[in-house]
Amino acid sequence: MKVERIDYQAGSVAANGALIYDDKVSGRRPLLLVSPNWLGMSEPTLERVKTMAGSKYITFVADMYGAGKVSKGPPEAAELANGLRGDAPERRRRIAAALDALRRESDKRGIGDLGRQAAAGFCFGGGNVLELARSGADVKAVVCMHGDLLTSMPAKAGDIKAAVCVMHGAADPVVPKKDRDAFEAEMEGAGAKWQMQVFGHLLHSFCEEESNVPGIGCFDPGAARQCYNMVDDYVTAAFEGKL
């Protein structure tokens, strides 16, 4: 797998993301933007996205903090992520800039199919791709895994062009059921094509082995495997107009 670090401007910061793809495969492939959890551009994220890309996708890891920053841990990560959670317009500018970088860099190399674009995100990153959808981005699908569901700029009728899929833990203490209910009401009010898969008993961060926090987040290998398969199934169905 080829990993190219890419400098680009993302809102108010100079960002450094990662374009990841199998350079032994020829031809144009669908684009998958991936927004990582609140730790940022970490090595576990890059390894995970290599697997997600496989031989099928051209992927790009969004740098939401600037300079390819990797957080030192939860206290710093919370400060960084909450700063953007409290500034939805800037959050949208940064995730949109990452999508633009994916489009530009993949097209420049002759490997990206601009007619098939999707985005997926984990935790804080899941909230980022939902903001991308709310902004009306021209992508076929967004997938949010155990992510932020609420926003200060809820979608209005007709705003969302993408199909939206959320995968969530029923026992998630970070984003509880009342947030799921509010999100459902927002999606229904916006007239979005959306669905939610709720995994019984699971806490936060169940798709990410490195994100265990007792009582808050716990990796579940079975659910993680199912989610990664669902990402591929969902975005493929969106590309084929089968949702």
Q: How far apart are CA 1 and CA 54, in angstroms?
A: 8
The mean-pLDDT minimum among 71-75, 84-88, 143-147, 168-172 falls in 71-75
Q: Which residue ranges make up each domain of the chain?
A: 2-239
The yes-or-no verdict on residue 183 having pLDDT over 90 is yes
Q: What is the CA radius of gyration of the chain?
A: 16
| 48-73: average pLDDT | 96
Write down the pLDDT at residue 160: 98
pLDDT category of residue 92 using cuts at 50, 70 and 90:
very high
Can you give the pTM of this predicted structure? Answer: 0.97
pLDDT category of residue 73 using cuts at 50, 70 and 90:
confident
Task: Kindly state the tokens that stand for 215.
Answer: 């009582």
| 129-145: average pLDDT | 98
Q: How far apart are CA 143 and CA 162, in angstroms?
A: 10
CATH architecture of the domain with residue range 2-239: 3-Layer(aba) Sandwich (3.40)
The mean-pLDDT minimum among 36-50, 184-198, 208-222 falls in 208-222
pLDDT category of residue 131 using cuts at 50, 70 and 90:
very high
Residue 224 in contact with residue 206, Cβ under 8 Å?
Answer: yes
Q: Which residue has the tokens 């984003």?
A: 175
pLDDT category of residue 214 using cuts at 50, 70 and 90:
confident
The full DSSP string for 190-219 is HT--EEEEEETT--B-TT-GGG-BTTTB--
Q: How far apart are CA 196 and CA 109, in angstroms?
A: 35
Helix ranges, the chain (H): 43-53, 74-85, 88-108, 124-134, 177-190, 221-239
Angle between helices 124-134 and 88-108 in degrees, nearest 10: 90
Residue 158's alpha-carbon distances to 141, 180, 185, 236, in angstroms, are 15, 21, 14, 23
Residue 134 in contact with residue 90, Cβ under 8 Å?
Answer: no
Q: How far apart are CA 206 and CA 7, in angstroms?
A: 31
